Amino acid sequence: MSDLMIAVFRTPAAARSAAEALAALQDTAGVESEDIAVVLRSTDGSVALDLLTRRDTGKPLGGGRWGATIALLFLDGALGQPAVVVNAGLDPRFVSQLPATLDNGAAAIVFRARKLGVDRVVATLSTRPGYLEAIHTRMTAATETALLAVHDALPQRVAALNMQEAGR
């Protein structure tokens, strides 16, 4: 079991800095790195995903599978993503509160916490400048597997959506 976490910050710079602090916490604790992605909501409301690299090595903070899958929940639902992840077993209350957590101009870190524990992660992130809130949900092994299948199917869903729009 693990926790899927979203930590919201006032600015993209604050979120990126907090993501680096989270990666350092993972290193210090001696746990394997988890995907860490930053979801950015611009002042016009558009959403982008920022997969970060470590300053010291230039290597990614994580592969982005969890971040990419969950970042889509901040979008307008054109891909039907909220229903898909709820069907995969993610808590519907968690899914329904995600879009409202990220105001225009703000950013959020999206990651899975397995070995660090929610309390330890929140204690670290809540001391960071620009921290607003953290929300999380517990995932079973079956939910994790189903969500990874959702991620793997995303290219086909995007292609189908593009074909649908081209036919209009």
Whether residue 130 contacts residue 103, with contact meaning beta carbons closer than 8 Å, is answered with no
Task: Assess contact for 118 and 7: CB atoms under 8 A.
Answer: no
pTM attached to this predicted model: 0.79
Contacts of 65 (CB under 8 A, 6+ apart): 35, 148, 151
Residue 80: domain span: 2-166
Structure confidence at residue 11 (pLDDT):
95
Give the total number of structural domains in the chain.
Answer: 1
* Residue ranges of the chain with per-residue pLDDT less than 50: 78, 159, 162-163
The C-alpha atoms of residue 40 and residue 106 are separated, in whole angstroms, by 6
47-51 β-sheet, strand order = 47-51, 36-41, 107-113, 2-9, 131-139
pLDDT of residue 8: 95
pLDDT at 160: 54
Q: State the Cα–Cα distance between residues 123 and 103, nearest whole angstrom.
A: 23
SS3 88: coil
